[in-house]
Chains A and B, each alone.
Chain A
Amino acid sequence: EVQLQQSGPEVGRPGSSVKISCKASGYTFTDYVMNWVKQSPGQGLEWIGWIDPEYGSTDYAEKFKKKATLTADTSSNTAYIQLSSLTSEDTATYFCARGMNSGYGDYWGQGVMVTVSS
């Protein structure tokens, strides 16, 4: 059974960084890209980017190029997103989603709530 288990909720101070994990199981981690998606409270979905765990290659939406850093550890089948220079605009739920074919998110993590507060 494919599962994506994300880490727990985070609280970050303005200007700090947080790192969220997404541990994959039930499939070959390097066979699929991993998408990351942001959902601000009561809002829609924003695609942040994806990482190909096999090669470490990444693709980011322009808006998130200076905000997010995507990495993957093939030894632990875990993908990560680090969010830097946190502001109130970063308060949101962040999802990882396995990308099948050209990136369709066929399995999703449960989401991680990040709250930016002083």
Chain B
Amino acid sequence: DIQMTQSPASLSASLGETVTIECLASEDIYSNLAWYQQKPGKSPQLLIYYANSLNDGVPSRFSGSGSGTQYSLKINSLQSEDVSIYFCQQNYDSPRTFGGGTKLELK
């Protein structure tokens, strides 16, 4: 199975700040990576697919980048509604493994 290692596990940032979350795959996943946002008590929501494609309706302050085994999610100008847990998932091979999640809080 492809292992997905997310960092950091938790993150505290101020409103307006730029934050970056990383995801490291145990092997090359050829940009087959998604980022999801999950708010407390809610279902995950797709933010980014194919590493850097913004899903419909997702604010442009979210962006994804990376290739090979290393990927990142960047949130520009952090808003209060961005407080959530963020997960990466590889869609290259079965099983479609998720990262452990990053809990983003406001400082």
Contact = CB atoms under 8 A, between A and B. Distances in A.
B94 A45 contact: no
Interface in B86-107: 87, 89, 91-92, 94-101
Contacts of A27: none
B46 A104 contact: yes
Contact of A61 (B89, B94, B101): B94
Nearest to A103: B91
Interface residues of B, number: 23
Interface of B: 1, 32, 34, 36, 43-46, 49-50, 55, 87, 89, 91-92, 94-101
Given A46-B98, A47-B96, A49-B95, 9 more contacts: A44-B101, A45-B101, A47-B89, A47-B98, A50-B96, A60-B95, A95-B44, A97-B43, A103-B96
A108 interface: yes
B61 to A, nearest CB: 20
Interface string A71-92: 0000000000000000000000
A35 interface: yes
Interface residues of A, number: 26
Interface in A96-118: 97, 100-106, 108-111
Nearest to A105: B46
